[in-house]
Amino acid sequence: MTKRALILGISGQDGAYLAHLLHRKGYVLHGSSRRAGPESYANLERLGLRDRVTIHSVDLGVSASLRALLSEAAPDEIYHLAGQSSVGVSFAQPEETFASIAGSTQRLLEELRLAKSGARVFNVASSECYGQCDVPADERTAFRPRSPYAAARASAFYTASVYRESYGMFVATGIVANHESPLRGRQFVTRKIVQAAVRAANGENASLDLGNITVKRDWGWAPEFVEAFWRVLQSDRPQDYNIATGETNALADFVQEIYAAAGLDWQKYVKTDNSLVRPSEFEATRIDASKIKRELGWEARYKMRDVARLLIRRERDGGLGPFAGELEI
């Protein structure tokens, strides 16, 4: 039988790429966006999917609205990707961030419990939940969130665990490291770096101010990360998995690779600005993603340097190019 999937937060980077993947697998697709309109459809339009998905305008903060969505979509699988997703923005909007992430997760799971739904749920969390990692964090490592965003994701993670263990629901969480693509929103630092590098390569006066460039993170390629989301819901039992490349690099190295891909020396264009440093910034994220490789057969093929070259290539040609399985580095 044809499976039905509901993607909460379908207008974002991950939602759009996931919709592309599931469409190719023959799913009937439903998606939610708080304000269904041209802006919400932009990423789906770019992927040629607008007419392949039923879009619902839903406020996940209202139980009745969510209940109606679940009844109409009747999903076999739910991918909960919605919520305010910027670490930096979360310091300015902590209440909204917590409500959109932790609040919506609890509300979704409670509605599914009351409806006695058998839908499988993928809940997205962030490697930011681990905080400072002196050694690679595996799925048993304690969370030490250092931002309102990470605290909200950690709360949603524990809520998902409670519903799984208390009510036997199929709820699994992917603890996801940084992952980039041409669909990344303009508020994210990697998007700003790529755009500044391309402008500079085109001869424009495009200096770039950044905060702490010594921070180290794990950067992957979003089109292949969403396959991991799907694999988590195809497993025999619900478990939590780290989804990452397993490679950690400094932001300065990422900047260098992006500018080098554009044929430039980054030090001529980039300067640091201490006013852009986030409160309680931590130095390094190190992630052990061996469990998902061992149990589900998923492994990231594209690491930071690949991602930098891909981002510049797509920004320059103005398109999205082929997808993960077809890319050549």
DSSP state letter for 99: I
Is 149 an annotated catalytic residue? yes
Q: What is the C-alpha to C-alpha distance for residues 294 and 307, in angstroms, rounded to an integer?
A: 24
Is 269 an annotated catalytic residue? no
| Catalytic position from the list 128, 227, 257, 315 | 128
Q: What is the C-alpha to C-alpha distance for residues 111 and 136, in angstroms, rounded to an integer?
A: 36
Q: Which residues pair with 137 in a beta bridge?
A: 287
Q: Which residues pair with 171 in a beta bridge?
A: 121
Q: What is the C-alpha to C-alpha distance for residues 249 and 243, in angstroms, rounded to an integer?
A: 16
Residue of 14, 170, 140, 162 lying closest to 83 (CA atoms): 14
Is 128 an annotated catalytic residue? yes
Q: Contact, 142 vs 175, CB < 8 A?
A: no
CA angle, residues 226, 227, 229, in degrees to nearest 5: 65
| Catalytic position from the list 33, 126, 127, 147 | 126
| Catalytic position from the list 130, 149, 259, 269 | 149
What's the chain's Rg over C-alpha atoms?
A: 19
- Which residues have a catalytic role annotated? 126, 128, 149
